[in-house]
Amino acid sequence: MWSLKGGQGTSVVAAMAAVRAAQDHSRRVRLVDLGRDQPAIFGTAVASDSWLCRWTQSGLGADALDRALVELTPNLSLLPRGDGPFNPERTGELVEWLKADDTTTIVDVGTLHRDREEDFAGSVHHRIIAGSDQSILVTRACYLALRRAVNPPVRPTGVVLVAEEGHVLTAGDCEGFIGTPVVAAVAVDPDIARAVDSGMLRTRVPKQALGSLDALAEDQQSRDQGRDRATGVELD
Protein backbone atom coordinates (compact mmCIF):
# COMPACT_ATOMS: atom_id res chain seq x y z
CA MET A 1 0.00 0.00 0.00
CA TRP A 2 1.31 3.41 -0.99
CA SER A 3 0.28 6.97 -1.69
CA LEU A 4 1.51 9.89 -3.76
CA LYS A 5 0.79 12.60 -1.19
CA GLY A 6 1.29 12.72 2.54
CA GLY A 7 -1.70 12.59 4.87
CA GLN A 8 -3.77 10.18 2.77
CA GLY A 9 -4.10 7.57 5.53
CA THR A 10 -1.87 4.89 4.02
CA SER A 11 -0.38 3.68 7.30
CA VAL A 12 -3.72 3.48 9.11
CA VAL A 13 -5.38 1.69 6.16
CA ALA A 14 -2.47 -0.77 5.99
CA ALA A 15 -2.76 -1.40 9.73
CA MET A 16 -6.52 -2.00 9.50
CA ALA A 17 -6.07 -4.27 6.48
CA ALA A 18 -3.61 -6.36 8.49
CA VAL A 19 -6.03 -6.58 11.42
CA ARG A 20 -8.84 -7.54 9.06
CA ALA A 21 -6.77 -10.26 7.39
CA ALA A 22 -5.75 -11.64 10.80
CA GLN A 23 -9.40 -12.13 11.76
CA ASP A 24 -9.09 -15.34 9.77
CA HIS A 25 -7.27 -17.21 12.53
CA SER A 26 -6.10 -19.92 10.14
CA ARG A 27 -3.97 -17.36 8.35
CA ARG A 28 -0.59 -15.97 9.39
CA VAL A 29 -0.29 -12.26 8.67
CA ARG A 30 2.66 -9.91 8.86
CA LEU A 31 2.78 -6.17 8.44
CA VAL A 32 6.01 -4.68 7.10
CA ASP A 33 6.57 -1.04 8.00
CA LEU A 34 8.59 1.14 5.64
CA GLY A 35 7.12 4.37 6.97
CA ARG A 36 8.08 4.14 10.67
CA ASP A 37 4.56 4.75 12.03
CA GLN A 38 3.21 1.24 12.64
CA PRO A 39 4.65 0.73 16.16
CA ALA A 40 3.01 4.00 17.25
CA ILE A 41 -0.28 3.10 15.57
CA PHE A 42 -0.42 -0.18 17.49
CA GLY A 43 1.06 1.22 20.70
CA THR A 44 3.76 -1.42 20.85
CA ALA A 45 7.31 -1.16 22.12
CA VAL A 46 10.03 -2.25 19.72
CA ALA A 47 13.38 -3.65 20.82
CA SER A 48 16.38 -1.79 19.44
CA ASP A 49 17.48 -4.84 17.42
CA SER A 50 14.01 -5.46 15.90
CA TRP A 51 14.55 -3.12 13.01
CA LEU A 52 14.47 -3.75 9.31
CA CYS A 53 17.00 -0.97 8.64
CA ARG A 54 19.44 -2.48 11.09
CA TRP A 55 19.18 -5.82 9.31
CA THR A 56 19.99 -4.23 5.93
CA GLN A 57 23.17 -2.79 7.43
CA SER A 58 24.22 -6.11 8.96
CA GLY A 59 25.62 -9.32 7.58
CA LEU A 60 22.81 -11.40 9.05
CA GLY A 61 20.85 -13.82 6.90
CA ALA A 62 17.16 -13.52 6.07
CA ASP A 63 16.28 -15.84 8.97
CA ALA A 64 17.11 -12.94 11.28
CA LEU A 65 14.04 -11.16 9.96
CA ASP A 66 11.85 -13.86 11.50
CA ARG A 67 13.41 -13.14 14.87
CA ALA A 68 12.83 -9.39 14.40
CA LEU A 69 9.06 -9.80 14.07
CA VAL A 70 7.02 -8.22 16.86
CA GLU A 71 3.84 -10.12 17.81
CA LEU A 72 0.72 -7.94 17.77
CA THR A 73 -1.82 -10.76 18.05
CA PRO A 74 -1.32 -14.56 17.99
CA ASN A 75 -1.36 -14.62 14.17
CA LEU A 76 -0.38 -11.02 13.32
CA SER A 77 3.20 -9.78 13.51
CA LEU A 78 4.98 -6.54 12.66
CA LEU A 79 8.38 -5.94 11.07
CA PRO A 80 9.28 -2.36 12.06
CA ARG A 81 11.45 -0.21 9.84
CA GLY A 82 13.28 1.55 12.65
CA ASP A 83 15.57 4.52 12.27
CA GLY A 84 18.68 4.92 10.20
CA PRO A 85 19.49 4.39 6.53
CA PHE A 86 18.15 1.49 4.49
CA ASN A 87 20.77 -0.38 2.48
CA PRO A 88 19.08 -0.92 -0.93
CA GLU A 89 21.55 -3.66 -1.87
CA ARG A 90 19.61 -6.07 0.36
CA THR A 91 16.21 -5.35 -1.16
CA GLY A 92 16.33 -8.51 -3.27
CA GLU A 93 16.85 -10.65 -0.17
CA LEU A 94 13.98 -8.88 1.55
CA VAL A 95 11.60 -9.49 -1.37
CA GLU A 96 12.58 -13.17 -1.49
CA TRP A 97 11.94 -13.49 2.25
CA LEU A 98 8.54 -11.83 1.90
CA LYS A 99 7.50 -14.34 -0.78
CA ALA A 100 9.17 -17.42 0.71
CA ASP A 101 6.16 -18.85 2.56
CA ASP A 102 2.36 -18.71 2.68
CA THR A 103 2.17 -15.82 5.14
CA THR A 104 -0.12 -13.01 4.01
CA THR A 105 2.05 -9.89 3.92
CA ILE A 106 0.95 -6.27 3.85
CA VAL A 107 3.64 -3.66 3.27
CA ASP A 108 3.13 -0.06 4.32
CA VAL A 109 5.33 1.50 1.63
CA GLY A 110 4.40 5.07 2.57
CA THR A 111 4.56 8.06 0.24
CA LEU A 112 6.25 7.87 -3.15
CA HIS A 113 7.90 11.20 -3.89
CA ARG A 114 7.39 12.37 -7.47
CA ASP A 115 10.30 14.81 -7.27
CA ARG A 116 12.70 11.87 -7.14
CA GLU A 117 11.22 9.86 -10.02
CA GLU A 118 14.56 9.49 -11.75
CA ASP A 119 15.74 7.33 -8.85
CA PHE A 120 12.47 5.43 -8.41
CA ALA A 121 13.05 2.49 -10.76
CA GLY A 122 15.91 1.12 -8.67
CA SER A 123 14.50 2.12 -5.29
CA VAL A 124 13.51 -0.13 -2.41
CA HIS A 125 9.89 1.03 -2.78
CA HIS A 126 9.69 0.18 -6.49
CA ARG A 127 11.26 -3.25 -6.11
CA ILE A 128 8.92 -4.21 -3.28
CA ILE A 129 5.86 -2.97 -5.18
CA ALA A 130 7.01 -4.75 -8.34
CA GLY A 131 7.44 -8.01 -6.42
CA SER A 132 3.98 -7.86 -4.84
CA ASP A 133 0.78 -9.61 -5.92
CA GLN A 134 -1.17 -6.39 -5.45
CA SER A 135 -0.19 -2.73 -5.68
CA ILE A 136 -2.72 -0.64 -3.77
CA LEU A 137 -2.85 3.15 -4.00
CA VAL A 138 -4.42 4.79 -0.96
CA THR A 139 -5.90 8.21 -1.63
CA ARG A 140 -8.57 10.64 -0.54
CA ALA A 141 -11.15 11.94 -3.01
CA CYS A 142 -9.23 15.17 -3.13
CA TYR A 143 -8.29 16.95 -6.36
CA LEU A 144 -4.83 17.84 -5.03
CA ALA A 145 -4.15 14.15 -4.35
CA LEU A 146 -5.77 12.80 -7.49
CA ARG A 147 -3.93 15.13 -9.85
CA ARG A 148 -0.71 13.42 -8.75
CA ALA A 149 -2.17 10.02 -9.55
CA VAL A 150 -2.94 10.71 -13.20
CA ASN A 151 0.53 9.55 -14.29
CA PRO A 152 1.85 7.57 -11.30
CA PRO A 153 5.43 6.26 -11.25
CA VAL A 154 3.96 2.78 -10.84
CA ARG A 155 0.54 1.56 -11.95
CA PRO A 156 -1.69 0.40 -9.06
CA THR A 157 -3.79 -2.74 -9.37
CA GLY A 158 -6.44 -1.22 -7.12
CA VAL A 159 -7.34 1.88 -5.14
CA VAL A 160 -8.47 2.23 -1.53
CA LEU A 161 -10.45 5.44 -1.25
CA VAL A 162 -10.43 7.26 2.09
CA ALA A 163 -13.85 8.89 1.95
CA GLU A 164 -14.66 12.02 3.91
CA GLU A 165 -17.51 14.51 3.83
CA GLY A 166 -17.10 17.72 1.89
CA HIS A 167 -15.45 16.41 -1.27
CA VAL A 168 -17.55 16.52 -4.43
CA LEU A 169 -15.48 13.88 -6.23
CA THR A 170 -16.95 10.38 -6.21
CA ALA A 171 -15.41 6.90 -6.41
CA GLY A 172 -16.29 6.92 -10.11
CA ASP A 173 -14.42 10.19 -10.55
CA CYS A 174 -11.39 8.67 -8.82
CA GLU A 175 -11.48 5.66 -11.10
CA GLY A 176 -11.67 7.97 -14.09
CA PHE A 177 -8.70 10.04 -12.87
CA ILE A 178 -6.50 7.07 -12.06
CA GLY A 179 -7.74 4.48 -14.55
CA THR A 180 -7.84 1.79 -11.84
CA PRO A 181 -10.86 0.38 -9.96
CA VAL A 182 -11.65 1.41 -6.39
CA VAL A 183 -11.54 -1.91 -4.50
CA ALA A 184 -12.48 -0.51 -1.08
CA ALA A 185 -13.70 2.73 0.47
CA VAL A 186 -12.91 3.52 4.10
CA ALA A 187 -14.93 6.30 5.68
CA VAL A 188 -13.15 8.84 7.88
CA ASP A 189 -14.36 7.86 11.35
CA PRO A 190 -13.58 9.57 14.69
CA ASP A 191 -13.50 6.13 16.32
CA ILE A 192 -10.55 5.18 14.11
CA ALA A 193 -8.70 8.34 15.15
CA ARG A 194 -9.39 7.60 18.81
CA ALA A 195 -8.11 4.03 18.44
CA VAL A 196 -4.91 5.26 16.76
CA ASP A 197 -4.37 8.07 19.28
CA SER A 198 -4.64 5.59 22.15
CA GLY A 199 -2.45 2.95 20.46
CA MET A 200 -5.32 0.49 20.61
CA LEU A 201 -6.02 -0.13 16.93
CA ARG A 202 -5.50 -3.88 17.23
CA THR A 203 -8.43 -4.24 19.65
CA ARG A 204 -10.66 -1.20 19.16
CA VAL A 205 -10.88 -0.68 15.41
CA PRO A 206 -14.53 -0.16 14.42
CA LYS A 207 -16.18 -3.22 12.85
CA GLN A 208 -17.65 -1.13 10.06
CA ALA A 209 -14.20 0.13 9.07
CA LEU A 210 -12.81 -3.41 9.02
CA GLY A 211 -15.81 -4.58 7.01
CA SER A 212 -15.06 -2.00 4.34
CA LEU A 213 -11.82 -3.89 3.64
CA ASP A 214 -13.53 -7.27 3.17
CA ALA A 215 -13.00 -7.20 -0.59
CA LEU A 216 -9.25 -6.85 -0.15
CA ALA A 217 -9.10 -9.65 2.41
CA GLU A 218 -11.23 -11.97 0.27
CA ASP A 219 -9.15 -11.27 -2.83
CA GLN A 220 -5.95 -12.09 -1.00
CA GLN A 221 -7.50 -15.24 0.44
CA SER A 222 -8.46 -16.41 -3.05
CA ARG A 223 -4.89 -15.76 -4.18
CA ASP A 224 -3.56 -17.77 -1.24
CA GLN A 225 -5.91 -20.66 -2.01
CA GLY A 226 -4.93 -20.59 -5.67
CA ARG A 227 -1.27 -20.73 -4.71
CA ASP A 228 -1.97 -23.65 -2.38
CA ARG A 229 -3.73 -25.55 -5.17
CA ALA A 230 -0.91 -24.83 -7.58
CA THR A 231 1.77 -26.08 -5.21
CA GLY A 232 -0.27 -29.17 -4.37
CA VAL A 233 -0.45 -30.52 -7.90
CA GLU A 234 1.42 -33.78 -8.42
CA LEU A 235 2.95 -34.34 -11.84
CA ASP A 236 3.19 -37.88 -13.18
Domain spans, the chain: 2-221
pLDDT tens per residue, range 111-146: 987 655 556 777 888 889 988 999 999 999 988 889
DSSP strands (E only) in the chain: 2-3, 29-33, 70-73, 76-79, 104-108, 110-111, 136-140, 158-163, 182-187
Judged against a pLDDT cut of 70, whether residue 217 lies above it is answered with: yes
Alpha-carbon distances, residue 76 vs 57, 136, 208 (angstroms): 26, 20, 20
Judged against a pLDDT cut of 50, whether residue 229 lies above it is answered with: no
Q: What is the pTM of this model?
A: 0.88
Alpha-carbon distances, residue 148 vs 16, 137, 139, 194 (angstroms): 25, 12, 10, 29
Distance CA 11, CA 1 (A): 8
Q: What is the pLDDT of residue 14?
A: 96
Alpha-carbon distances, residue 182 vs 20, 90, 188, 195, 213 (angstroms): 18, 33, 16, 25, 11
- The CB-side HSE value for 147 (13 A sphere, CA atoms) comes to 3
Distance CA 19, CA 73 (A): 9
Judged against a pLDDT cut of 70, whether residue 235 lies above it is answered with: no
Question: Do strands 2-3 and 158-163 pair parallel, antiparallel, or not at all (unpaired)?
Answer: unpaired
Distance CA 118, CA 128 (A): 17
- 3-state DSSP assignment of residue 80: coil
pLDDT tens per residue, range 148-207: 888 888 889 999 999 888 888 889 999 998 999 999 999 998 999 999 998 888 888 888
- As a whole number, mean pLDDT of residues 16-41 equals 93
- As a whole number, mean pLDDT of residues 78-103 equals 90
Within 8 A by CB and 6+ apart from 219, the residues are 134, 183
Kindly state the percentage of the chain with pLDDT values over 90: 49
Confidence of residue 41 (pLDDT cuts 50, 70, 90): very high
Residue 140 near residue 33 (C-beta atoms within 8 A):
no
State which H helix or E strand residue 90 sits in: none
Query: What's the CATH number of domain 2-221, 2.60.120.430, 3.40.50.300, 3.30.450.70, 3.10.50.40?
Result: 3.40.50.300
Q: What is the pLDDT of residue 94?
A: 93
